[in-house]
Amino acid sequence: MSNPRHSGLGPESPSTRASGNRSRIKSGMTIVAGLLLAGCAAVATAQQSESAPPAQAGPPPAPPPQTLSTRPDASGGEALYVAKCAMCHGPGGMGTGLLARRMDTPLLEERDNLAAPFVVIAARNGIGNMPAIPRGEVSDEDLQAIAEYLAAGPHGGAE
């Protein structure tokens, strides 16, 4: 047998041969120990995944958007509100989330303290993070109908 420590210039001594055997035995034991540890880790991981409750995949899903197809009976100011405002001020809308930081009732349709003139001024000029809504997007007549609908609240349409 050849030994890497043996220079090849003479016969291999018994101590060199024994040293080589010990080295091979240590290497073999290290490999066996590594395989045992890997096997134990795999078993432990499998047991944890079987017994652990499924991990939640993030925040709960957003509520479905309010659209005229989800509220087919809407008419007048309510239909205009759903078409023009609910994407931000309906459940899950960004405007609702921002208002929730400051108000107990962030959904505009559920509020009972909105005056029609306030709604018109807030919409035309913008308020807080809400941008101004120009007449090209919502006419004065449509905005007045939306404002009167919200002022007559609270409404159950947002549910």
pLDDT, residue 156, reads 75
Question: What is the H or E stretch that residue 40 is in?
Answer: helix 14-51
Same domain, 33 and 87: no
Q: Is residue 66 part of a domain?
A: no
Beta bridge partners of 130: 127
Backbone phi and psi for residue 140, each to the nearest 5 degrees, phi listed first: -60, -40
Q: Is the pLDDT of residue 5 over 60?
A: no
Give 61's pLDDT tier (boundaries 50, 70, 90): confident
Same domain, 136 and 87: yes
Q: At what angle do helices 140-151 and 116-125 cross, to 10 degrees?
A: 130
Q: Is the pLDDT of residue 141 over 80?
A: yes
Same domain, 42 and 80: no
Q: Is residue 23 part of a domain?
A: yes
Q: Is residue 91 part of a domain?
A: yes
What b/e string do you get for 40-63 counting C-beta neighbours within 10 Å, with b at 16 or more?
eeeeeeeeeeeeeeeeeeeeeeee
Q: What is the pLDDT of residues 9-28, one digit of tens each?
A: 556 566 656 666 777 777 77
CA-based nearest residue to 98, from 87, 106, 110, 108: 106
Q: Is residue 159 part of a domain?
A: no
Q: 144 lies in which domain range?
A: 76-151
pLDDT, residue 109, reads 93
User: What is the average per-residue pLDDT within 56-85?
Assistant: 87
Q: Which two tokens stand for residue 139?
A: 């006419």
Same domain, 80 and 134: yes
Domain total for the chain?
A: 2
Count the Cβ atoms, other than its own, within 10 Å of residue 73. 8
Q: What is the pTM of this model?
A: 0.60
pLDDT, residue 59, reads 81
Same domain, 46 and 112: no
Mean of all residue pLDDT scores within the chain: 81
Q: Is residue 67 part of a domain?
A: no
Least confident of 59-63, 93-97, 103-107, 127-131: 59-63
- Please report, for the domain that includes residue 103, its CATH number: 1.10.760.10
pLDDT, residue 9, reads 56
More confident residue, 155 or 48: 155
More confident residue, 58 or 123: 123
Same domain, 38 and 103: no
Same domain, 4 and 51: yes
**Max intra-chain CA distance, the chain:** 109
User: What is the average per-residue pLDDT within 140-156?
Assistant: 94
